Amino acid sequence: MLAGCSTSNNGGGNEPAGNNGGANNGEKVTLNIFQFKVEIADALNRLKADYEKENPNVILNIETMGGGADYGAGLKAKFASNQEPDIFNNGGNADLTTWADKLEDLSNEPWQSDVIDTAKEGITRDGKNYGLPMGIEGYGLIYNKDLFKQAGIETPPKTLTELKAAVEKLKAAKITPFSNGYQEFWVLGNHTFNVALANQDDPTSFIKGLNEGKGGLVGNPVIGNWFNLFDMMIANSNKNPLTTDYNTQVTLFASGKTAMMQQGNWTQVQIDGITPNMNIGILPMPVDDSEKSGNIFVGVPNYWVVNKNSKNKEAAKDFLNWLATSETGKNYGVNEFKFIPALKSVEVKDQKVLGAIANDILQYSKDGKTSGWYFNQMPEGLPQEVGADMQAYVAGKSNKDQLVKSIQDKWTNMAKK
């Protein structure tokens, strides 16, 4: 999906001085922003209008590329065709390695001291920080509490055994357990596969071994357990999951046609638009009955970064500063984008604002029941390959052994590049 976005902000008077987009001479500055989160496209349209009202010498040209499209490939095409954006998104870790020579050092920006420590790690290299985190996100199995109650499920499942029992009760009540958007590579290659990585005893060391070509996937007991969950989701899905895109997956769930979907708090805005005040929450994605398997997965989805070769990089940094420090910018992050704040100073005064999913994620975090996002430590391009291999498995074109060996072989080959 490729959609253009524009936005603006009705200034609140609390914005930092000097936020004039770097256009002191009165000339118009156009900031080209290329971003991937389709779910905030409409809100970014409103933000554009507000920002331009406060900064009359700045025009925000916001382009959104997400959904089924490969944002990374689209970004590379922009740079290859001499259409480099001034501001774009970077996932950190492996993505930081890919784009490091294009990124402006933002270590001295005024908002740096406000960023929570865990949100800095992925975008910091050699003591330099290159990005402003969008926010914190979490994912697991979003579930419809009313359909669970209808099926006689009184206690939310936390273990694999309990989840299996819940699925059977849903089927007995003629309720489709899962809506699966397996047309999207990232649903599989990023989020589903991350479950197998995050449940390792030491995920970071495990991934380091794979990146060094030492293998580790074939014969791994956690991978074996992971298939228990994956196979159950495949077998109890909506029809035609391989041709179901993200939008359709969320729509099926939000319309009450399925009881669960593997997604995160970024779906809250779309769900609210279909069924306001839907009675929902989030569950773990257990691969066995262990304590760790009852965690959900929390991380920073992406960072705002500045193209260091941009002729408008000072204006770009002004915009990020406005996002992070102005009352209007902070308001958009929480109330319009529905992001869990990654900034210490941003207080969520009304828990209803973020929605039920985010509030559950905050509770899981408070209880220490979270695991990380490790897919962004995989070699560049590998999640797409893993997604394709997993799609072939869903289609019955490969078996478990073939899937695991194919992923390991590709990981080894791509890590050498």
pLDDT one digit per residue (tens) for the chain, 417 residues: 222 222 333 333 333 333 444 444 568 999 999 999 998 999 999 999 999 999 999 999 999 997 656 899 999 999 999 999 999 999 999 999 999 999 999 999 999 999 998 899 899 999 999 999 999 999 999 999 999 999 999 999 999 999 999 999 999 999 999 999 999 999 999 999 999 999 999 999 999 999 999 999 999 999 999 999 999 999 999 999 999 999 999 999 999 999 999 999 999 999 999 999 999 999 999 999 999 999 999 999 899 999 999 999 999 999 999 999 999 999 999 999 999 999 999 888 787 889 999 999 999 998 999 999 999 999 989 999 999 999 999 999 999 999 999 999 999 999 987
In the chain, ranges of CATH 3.40.190.10 domains: 2-134+302-347, 137-299+357-415
Q: Sort 219 into a burial class: Cβ within 10 Å, 0-12 / 13-18 / 19+.
A: exposed
Q: Which CATH class is domain 2-134+302-347?
A: alpha beta
Q: What is the CATH number of domain 137-299+357-415?
A: 3.40.190.10
Residue of 58, 6, 66, 16 whose CA lies nearest to 36: 66
Rounded to 10 deg, the angle between the 203-211 and 400-415 helix axes is 70
pTM of the model: 0.83
Least Cα distance to 164 among 241, 262, 261, 235 occurs for: 235
DSSP state of 82: T
